[in-house]
Amino acid sequence: MTSYFVSDLHFGLLGREEEIDRERKFVEFLEYCKTNTNKLFILGDLFDYWFEYKRVIQKGYFRTFTALQDLVENNIEVHYFIGNHDFMHRDFFEKELGVIVHEDVIDIELDEQKFFLGHGDGLVANDLGYNILKKILRNKSLQKLYSLFHPDFGIWLASSSSKKSRDYTTEKSYGEIDGLYEAAKKKIDEGYDFVLFGHSHIRRNEIYKDSHYINLGTWLSRPCYGKFKNNKFSIIDWK
């Protein structure tokens, strides 16, 4: 069994020409997955913002949706983890694409190895402010009220909020210690063999007590994917 992992593509952030090129590369990667993996895990923030109305989704990235659906129809198990830029998911990914959506971290066994997977937001020890904000943004009642806004306004506001969230994540200082690495070490101490996050955009592959902390960085700077096969994990640059 071979499992692939990607994170933090942030589609919708850059200019149109750059976005077209980035989507082309990602769709090529998804085509590659079709014959080279059994499971694909997207660890959050595929889009720079995502707000899904009951009958409306945001414009663009049709090729990405089609490629994901094509993977599922070819019996590739696709998992999507909601990130801090995923303001609201309803059922589009699950019902229309067949993707398995996770609202929180999970543990899963792959080839008899114990994995702890998540986007990584809200796991840093000294980030109380963000955890409060996360509870507000994920509140289903507040999301229903927000969805009463016209989609043009609602999606524009989500886009603006996403930029502020990204700036906050980029500029916030957690000190010299990588908070996600510290969170990962705690999970390893609990018995996990591999801990994978995104969120920080800092690419890492660290060994701690014979186990591994992996961060897949971001496709904004250096597109890559994680590959787990034969109990070995590697981070591979795409193209």
Is 63 inside a domain boundary? yes
| Residues of the domain holding 154 | 2-104+121-165+217-237
Q: How far apart are CA 227 and CA 219, in angstroms?
A: 16
Q: How far apart are CA 179 and CA 73, in angstroms?
A: 38
Report how many domains make up the chain: 1
Is 7 inside a domain boundary? yes
Residue 67 burial (CB count, 10 A): 20
| Strand locations in 17-112 (E) | 39-42, 77-81, 100-102, 106-110
Is 76 inside a domain boundary? yes
Instruction: Give the pLDDT score at 55.
Output: 77
Is 197 inside a domain boundary? no
pTM of the full structure: 0.84
Q: How far apart are CA 66 and CA 238, in angstroms?
A: 20
How do the residues of the chain divide into helix, strand and coil, expressed in percent and rounded to 5?
A: 35, 25, 40
Q: How far apart are CA 127 and CA 120, in angstroms?
A: 12
Mean pLDDT of 68-85: 94
Within its chain, how far is the Cα of 130 from the centroid? Answer: 17
Query: Pick from 119, 114, 237, 127: which is nearest to 177 by CA?
Result: 127
* Residue 88 pLDDT exceeds 70: yes
Is 73 inside a domain boundary? yes
Is 199 inside a domain boundary? no
Instruction: Give the pLDDT score at 183.
Output: 94
Is 40 inside a domain boundary? yes
Helix (H, G, I), strand (E, B) or coil at 53: coil
Instruction: Give the pLDDT score at 174.
Output: 44
**Could you report the per-residue pLDDT of 2-25, keeping only the tens digit for each?**
999 999 999 988 888 999 999 999
* Residue 86 pLDDT exceeds 80: no
* Residue 169 pLDDT exceeds 60: no
Is 203 inside a domain boundary? no
Instruction: Give the pLDDT score at 87.
Output: 66
